[in-house]
Amino acid sequence: MITNQEYLYSIRKCYLFDGINDEQLPEAIKLLNGRIKKVKKDDFIVQLGGVLQNAGLLLKGKIESSFQNENYDQITMHTFTGGYLFGEALVINDAKNSPVQVRAVEDCIILFVDLAAIYQSDVHSPILVVLAENLIKSLARKNLILNQKVRILSQKSLRDRILIYLGTLPKDKNGFVKIPFTQTALAEYLGVNRSALSREIGRMQNEERLIVDGRRMKLC
């Protein structure tokens, strides 16, 4: 049983365990054949072209997912902290050649879970029904996110990429959005170099199209 409160907090943040109470949590993890593993900073959890046997729930630390474009440049897709579940699509599809790589940005603690147990188990448990529903919902959400990324990268102009990306983020009451990346990571996400992104943001500010306050931005 996982008793570390920090780990429990991360598990509770994960969509997979929505609707499962504290008393059911140990059984849910057991049904998924859960096992905890430490991963050192800069180690790859899955490499490009590699195989991921089980999905991973990040309990502590930070990871990033990335891929290579046609010019073999590394494009960072996302950076995640505790509570994020990764690799679902790869393991469910039994992918033998991963199109993305996942690397530990910090020392990490990961709970690996066997998602096949959800739909291949002979056990009849209401917990498995809840896990299956949560998994389907998550895959649908992630499909929407990937479609957004494709839409952004399909834009020819950097300004259009910036505008579409900012439009996907939730606004606060003053119309600002919070960028979850550093400018370097944002440039990688948008598929451009950092200097080009800085110049375009500067032009948009000069044209009074954009207000920048640290990592907060507002379109005018």
Q: Specify the CATH number for the domain of residue 201.
A: 1.10.10.10
197 assigned to some structural domain: yes
Q: Which of 110, 145, 180 is the last residue of a domain?
A: 145
Output the CA–CA distances (angstroms, integers) from residue 198 to 67, 161, 194, in the order listed.
23, 13, 6
Alpha carbons within 13 angstroms on the beta-carbon side of residue 152 total: 24
- 3-class DSSP state of 13: helix
The pLDDT value given to residue 140: 83
Q: Which residue has the tokens 């998602």?
A: 115
Looking at the structure, do residues 129 and 192 belong to the same domain, yes or no?
Answer: no
Looking at the structure, do residues 174 and 139 belong to the same domain, yes or no?
Answer: no
Tokens, residue 29: 């993890």
Looking at the structure, do residues 110 and 179 belong to the same domain, yes or no?
Answer: no
Of 165, 148, 173, 145, residue with least CA distance to 210 = 165
Looking at the structure, do residues 68 and 165 belong to the same domain, yes or no?
Answer: no
Structural domain of 201: 158-219
The pLDDT value given to residue 124: 82
Domain count, the chain: 2
How far apart, in whole angstroms, are the C-alpha atoms of residue 27 and residue 72? 44
User: Which of the four pLDDT bands, split at 50, 70 and 90, describes residue 205?
Assistant: very high
How far apart, in whole angstroms, are the C-alpha atoms of residue 112 and residue 41? 17
Mean of per-residue pLDDT scores for the chain? 88
> How many other CB atoms sit within 10 Å of the CB of residue 12?
13
pLDDT in tens, 21-67: 988 999 999 999 999 999 999 999 999 889 999 999 999 999 998 87
86 Cβ contact partners less than 8 Å away, ≥ 6 residues apart:
45, 55, 56, 58, 63, 65, 80, 102
150 assigned to some structural domain: no
Judge whether 79 and 181 are in contact, CB under 8 Å: yes
Radius of gyration of the chain (CA): 19
Q: Which residue has the tokens 């020392």?
A: 107
